[in-house]
Structure 1
Amino acid sequence: MASMYTYHPATKPHLKPSSSVVSPRPPTLALRSSLFRSRIPVDLFSIRTSLNGPTGEPLGRVRVGSKQVVASQHSFDVLIVGAGIIGLTIARQLLLESDLSVAVIDKAVPCSGATGAGQGYIWMASKTPGSDIWELALRSHQLWESLAEHIHDQGLNSQELLGWKKTGSLLIGKTVEESALLERRVKQFSEAGVEAEFLSSRELLLKEPALSVDKESGAALLPNDCQLDAHRTVAFVEEGNRQFASRGRYAEFYHDPVIALLRSGKNGEAKAVLTAKSTFYCKKAVVVASGCWTGSLMRDLNIRVDVPVKPRKGHLLVLENFNPVRLNHGLMEVGYVSHQQIMQHSSVSAAGLSNDEEMLSISMTATTDTMGNLVLGSSRQFVGFNTEADASIIDNIWKRAQEFFPELREMSLAEIGKNRKVRIGLRPFMPDGKPVIGSVPGLSNVFLASGHEGSGLTLALGTAEMVADMVMQNQGKVDSAPFAVEGRCCR
């Protein structure tokens, strides 16, 4: 749900909801719920939906093969505002785990924001055992792995469908102090049940020959960390969700901004969402998963909560088909993690950021994606909703990468020319470093799911499970108390 500057997707371009695609030989996948309690046949490539219609007219047309199905309802059990990875996976979870009908509403389209602008990490390396977010991250990581394994068990290719790769991650230190810190983190990971290994400088060089390694270098290796392609994954989730459209259980309303929340006069609960094009009624719940726009949306909807989520701008540099540096793992310098901790404990108060709102940090991150592109990052700064590319930041990302990769030192960005792209996303940042997930005080049928910052993909499936359990009043698999709205968002 954040803005993105430029991106060349690794797979086919994302099709607008009005497009219809029929695969001549569509594979069928039996998708199961996160706990594999249900089994739903899903034709992955045969449907595209068009579900934008004016009030009083049919709301959607779904093409399944050559048969057109018309959906005419204006009312759904659950309305989800936001079609990023969080909103779409919440819809998926509700569709798989219940008989509820779900509509997803967004002012743009999926992958046009932070979801599509990231590196695709599904990592535990950047999480701290024992922290409030640890159990949610661990649960979500397990659900992603289960999904990838299930796709494989069905005779399909999770790398083709999701861009899934179990590359493992390396958290890299360059000094004696950083290496000692990583040794302690490896011990923490191991004690928390996550496989981890400390690598000496010699072992690190064997794992990643392209790195600049000296005798003081070291790394924490988490071999089970993974990465995926956001565009492929979102397309996969969309196709699975759309299988429920012909049953009247699912609809998408893209390019349709939400402008008001209508409440019941009896109990004050939300009864409908007014958009620029229509009015959609909810029978059970409204879920707001609109990323860094959640706070302003709450104010626009006159909901008496103050969600202190802020847009945190990030640049990534993508070098297409880049052969001089080939990576075996996802890489991140230890400073990336330590900077996050400093921001959460020192520079941020409950009321927001202190001092320099434009404070910029750049830490080395590097991955090779499914298409062989080298993705370098990353920057973090607070400049409001500005999404313009900053050449000086790109230069600094390049210079930081050169410190880690000797092959880059003999090259300039100008030499790379047209083969370089820039991704810019606005990550939804919460001052205490935790997403906000839960019901809104005074509006028991309105739920928030936002503030995941750079961990939206990592935490998506765990968040979706948590929200679905809240909506259905099931006992949660992970303690949701640390993410509650009450006490963290108030006026």
Structure 2
Amino acid sequence: MAATSFIGPIPNPKTNGVVFSPRKPFLCSSAVNSRLFGYKFLGKSLSGSTQRSRSEPVHVSGLNPITASHSFDVVVIGAGIIGLTIVRQFLLGSDLSVALVDAAVPCFGATGAGQGYIWLVHKTPGSEKWELAARSLKLWEMLAESIQLEGMNPLEILGWKKTGSLLIGRTPKESDMLKRRVEQLSEAGLRAEFLSSYDLLSEEPALMVGKEGGAAFLPDDCQLDARRTVAFIEKANRNFSSEGRYAEFYNEPATCLLRSGSSGEVQAVQTSKNTLYGKKAIVIAAGCWTGSLMHDLIRDSDIDLAVPVKPRKGHLLVLENFNSLKLNHGLMEAGYVDHQDASLHSSVSTSGPVHTQTSSISMTATMDLSGNLVLGSSRQFVGFSTEIEDSIINRIWDRAGEFFPTLRELSLRDFSKDKEVRVGLRPYMPDGKPVIGPVPGLSNVFLAAGHEGEGLSLAMGTAEMVVDMVLGNPRKVDCAPFALQGRCCQ
């Protein structure tokens, strides 16, 4: 066996619940070899501690005797919706074996905290993400159709609903923008329609936008239940376990990568319990932790690289069994697009870069399968904090009231027993595009991260793209806009 060397620790600050919140920022410095975490869950607290020693660069001729060794063709780090769908695509589209590694459990990050919409109404035809978004929607539709052909109901299995979507404006300027968007969407081959404020009354009687308002309407946009979808994909992946092609390593933090002493190629992932060899590829799909992960991963190497994926905090307000108003479609205010594209501004002090805390609130509203009203959403740059902020929830409620007069007559305090708050960390990239592709200098290591709030909607296309890259298949979507090269500056 060729000699191997450790090339750095991987931080794993993930928690296994979307409303778990670290009281202090996680420390990613490799000089720190012990950490104490405190978590809060809807007012209840628990604490736990973990120790992790730094692995010095060493050369070994065999395996760490403390851990077991397993060999796979592909190892995927990260069991969010991106990692799960990548595993699924490898299993269905090849004969390769796959290991899935996560420090916690599947999909309790940004996707689990989201609204589950798979919409094109707020995306711009011809933009760099458009092709990937359209391809992903098509693949989701194909999955729903295949489930139906097998005699099952996609609504029950995935929470799949063709709700249609409304992008709403309230000013003449916004209405003009939405009319142009409808033209673009129609030219792209979609069923699209501009609805005046009068037309909107018949579609959404509870909505009030004023005489100058209107909406871009895509009747074919869809919605999923993220947790049902994750459970379905996970179960389907596990069907390959009996063939020896799939294994899960949950609640098992990755601690380092093993690199060949001769070729420099990454050969394996070291976890707290196992050494997992990836003969063909190692895929890192660690969501908002990908940037800090890669920073530590290359700390002791000669590779000059930065992956600027950062956490962007978001709140959602869920009112259970809400019957004061009903929604027929998914709704989003036009300003959401600008808020989504807002940048993280940095300044420099004597102690280094300082990131400005910015927050924005834009109205989104959906009804889930259980009749719960889901309102959003917020965007903040506050590091890895997932503390629930009542002031943000109140702002979300007030913003929704500007669109739904019925809500103004109600007090949020009256829903204290029927209220859930979801907090997630979106993986933000400064240029608004995910990073998908090989890591320069580590040819067999691939990244799939930085999808912001679009992880669910872009997951299927991302998975197909990654697998096609690894297998050398023809690309269905141009992957050049998502390459890491040229986007490495922080």
Tell me the TM-score normalized by structure 2.
Answer: 0.84
Aligned residue for 1:253?
A: 249
- Give, in whole Å, the separation in 1 of the partners of 2:372 and 2:252: 34
Quote how far apart the aligned CAs of 1:266 are.
2.3
Specify the code of the residue in structure 1 equivalent to 2:293. L
* Partner SS for 2:112: helix
Of 241-250 and 148-157, deviating more is: 148-157
Quote how far apart the aligned CAs of 1:57 are.
10
2:18 corresponds to 1:4: yes
Quote how far apart the aligned CAs of 1:348 are.
5.4
- Give, in whole Å, the separation in 2 of the partners of 1:176 and 1:285: 52
Q: Deviations over 1:384-423 (max 9, x none)?
A: 0000000000000000001111111111111112101000
Quote how far apart the aligned CAs of 1:4 are.
1.6
- Give, in whole Å, the separation in 2 of the partners of 1:287 and 1:139: 21
Q: Choose the corresponding residue for 1:238, options 230, 234, 237.
A: 234
Quote how far apart the aligned CAs of 1:89 are.
0.2
Q: Deviations over 1:209-252 (max 9, x none)?
A: 11113211100001111110110000000000000001110011
Q: Deviations over 1:268-299 (max 9, x none)?
A: 11101111122111111000000010011112
Aligned residue for 1:11?
A: none
Of 446-455 and 257-266, deviating more is: 257-266
Aligned residue for 2:139?
A: 143
- Give, in whole Å, the separation in 1 of the partners of 2:307 and 2:66: 36
Q: Are 2:257 and 2:268, in contact at CA under 8 Å, matched by a contact in 1?
A: yes
Q: Are 1:260 and 1:300, in contact at CA under 8 Å, matched by a contact in 2?
A: no
Quote how far apart the aligned CAs of 1:363 are.
0.2
2:410 corresponds to 1:411: yes
Of 186-195 and 115-124, deviating more is: 186-195
- Give, in whole Å, the separation in 2 of the partners of 1:135 and 1:246: 36
- Give, in whole Å, the separation in 1 of the partners of 2:215 and 2:163: 15
Q: Deviations over 1:147-206 (max 9, x none)?
A: 111111211010111011110000000111111110011011111222210001111111
- Give, in whole Å, the separation in 2 of the partners of 1:349 and 1:100: 43
- Give, in whole Å, the separation in 1 of the partners of 2:321 and 2:20: 17
Specify the code of the residue in structure 2 equivalent to 1:199. L
Counting only pairs closer than 5 Å after superposition, residues 369-384 of structure 1 correspond to structure 2 as: 369-384=368-383
Aligned residue for 1:227?
A: 223
Aligned residue for 1:439?
A: 438
Q: Are 1:348 and 1:431, in contact at CA under 8 Å, matched by a contact in 2?
A: no
* Partner SS for 1:321: coil
Quote how far apart the aligned CAs of 1:349 are.
8.4
Q: Are 1:291 and 1:451, in contact at CA under 8 Å, matched by a contact in 2?
A: yes
Quickly say closer, same or farther: Cα 1:366–1:6, change in 2 above 3 A: farther
Q: How many residues end up aligned between the 2 structures?
A: 427
Quickly say closer, same or farther: Cα 1:376–1:6, change in 2 above 3 A: farther
Specify the code of the residue in structure 2 equivalent to 1:116. G
Specify the code of the residue in structure 1 equivalent to 2:209. V
- Give, in whole Å, the separation in 2 of the partners of 1:288 and 1:158: 30
Of 110-119 and 361-370, deviating more is: 110-119
Q: Are 1:106 and 1:257, in contact at CA under 8 Å, matched by a contact in 2?
A: yes
Aligned residue for 1:134?
A: 130
- Give, in whole Å, the separation in 1 of the partners of 2:283 and 2:355: 33
Q: Are 2:265 and 2:444, in contact at CA under 8 Å, matched by a contact in 1?
A: yes
Q: Deviations over 1:108-127 (max 9, x none)?
A: 10122112000001011121
Aligned residue for 1:31?
A: none
Specify the code of the residue in structure 2 equivalent to 1:393. I
* Partner SS for 2:270: strand
2:295 corresponds to 1:331: no
* Partner SS for 2:111: helix
- Give, in whole Å, the separation in 1 of the partners of 2:142 and 2:397: 36
Q: Are 1:313 and 1:425, in contact at CA under 8 Å, matched by a contact in 2?
A: yes
Aligned residue for 1:160?
A: 156
- Give, in whole Å, the separation in 2 of the partners of 1:329 and 1:423: 21
Q: Which runs of 4+ in 1 moved over 4 A?
A: 54-59, 347-351
- Give, in whole Å, the separation in 1 of the partners of 2:265 and 2:111: 30
Quickly say closer, same or farther: Cα 1:382–1:349, change in 2 above 3 A: closer
Quote how far apart the aligned CAs of 1:489 are.
2.2
Specify the code of the residue in structure 2 equivalent to 1:217. G
Q: Are 1:6 and 1:421, in contact at CA under 8 Å, matched by a contact in 2?
A: no
* Partner SS for 1:376: strand
Q: Deviations over 1:325-367 (max 9, x none)?
A: 11000000000012334x25xx65899xx98621100000000
Q: Choose the corresponding residue for 1:169, options 165, 170, 181.
A: 165
Quote how far apart the aligned CAs of 1:483 are.
0.2
Quickly say closer, same or farther: Cα 1:278–1:58, change in 2 above 3 A: closer
- Give, in whole Å, the separation in 2 of the partners of 1:340 and 1:115: 16
Quote how far apart the aligned CAs of 1:6 are.
6.6
Q: Choose the corresponding residue for 2:106, options 110, 115, 121.
A: 110
Of 434-443 and 257-266, deviating more is: 257-266
- Give, in whole Å, the separation in 2 of the partners of 1:56 and 1:232: 39
- Give, in whole Å, the separation in 2 of the partners of 1:285 and 1:478: 21
Q: Choose the corresponding residue for 1:264, options 260, 265, 269.
A: 260
Specify the code of the residue in structure 2 equivalent to 1:141. L
Q: Choose the corresponding residue for 2:280, options 275, 280, 284.
A: 284
Quickly say closer, same or farther: Cα 1:186–1:389, change in 2 above 3 A: same
* Partner SS for 1:114: coil
Aligned residue for 1:80?
A: 76
Quote how far apart the aligned CAs of 1:265 are.
1.8
- Give, in whole Å, the separation in 2 of the partners of 1:422 and 1:90: 29
* Partner SS for 1:332: strand
Aligned residue for 1:321?
A: 321
Q: Deviations over 1:78-117 (max 9, x none)?
A: 0000000000000000000000000000001012211200
- Give, in whole Å, the separation in 2 of the partners of 1:212 and 1:485: 43
- Give, in whole Å, the separation in 2 of the partners of 1:348 and 1:331: 29
Aligned residue for 1:392?
A: 391
Show structure 2 runs of 5+ residues with no match.
1-13, 22-62
Of 257-266 and 472-481, deviating more is: 257-266
Q: Are 2:179 and 2:194, in contact at CA under 8 Å, matched by a contact in 1?
A: yes
- Give, in whole Å, the separation in 2 of the partners of 1:198 and 1:428: 32
* Partner SS for 1:74: strand
Specify the code of the residue in structure 2 equivalent to 1:296. S
Specify the code of the residue in structure 1 equivalent to 2:19. Y
Q: Are 1:259 and 1:300, in contact at CA under 8 Å, matched by a contact in 2?
A: no
- Give, in whole Å, the separation in 1 of the partners of 2:447 and 2:347: 18
- Give, in whole Å, the separation in 1 of the partners of 2:453 and 2:409: 31
| Backbone CA RMSD of aligned residues | 2.2
Quote how far apart the aligned CAs of 1:58 are.
11
Show structure 1 runs of 5+ residues with no match.
8-53, 60-72
Q: Deviations over 1:25-69 (max 9, x none)?
A: xxxxxxxxxxxxxxxxxxxxxxxxxxxxx988998xxxxxxxxxx
- Give, in whole Å, the separation in 2 of the partners of 1:301 and 1:123: 35
Q: Are 2:345 and 2:356, in contact at CA under 8 Å, matched by a contact in 1?
A: no
Aligned residue for 2:312?
A: 312
- Give, in whole Å, the separation in 1 of the partners of 2:132 and 2:270: 32
Q: Are 2:347 and 2:355, in contact at CA under 8 Å, matched by a contact in 1?
A: no
- Give, in whole Å, the separation in 2 of the partners of 1:102 and 1:348: 39
2:485 corresponds to 1:486: yes
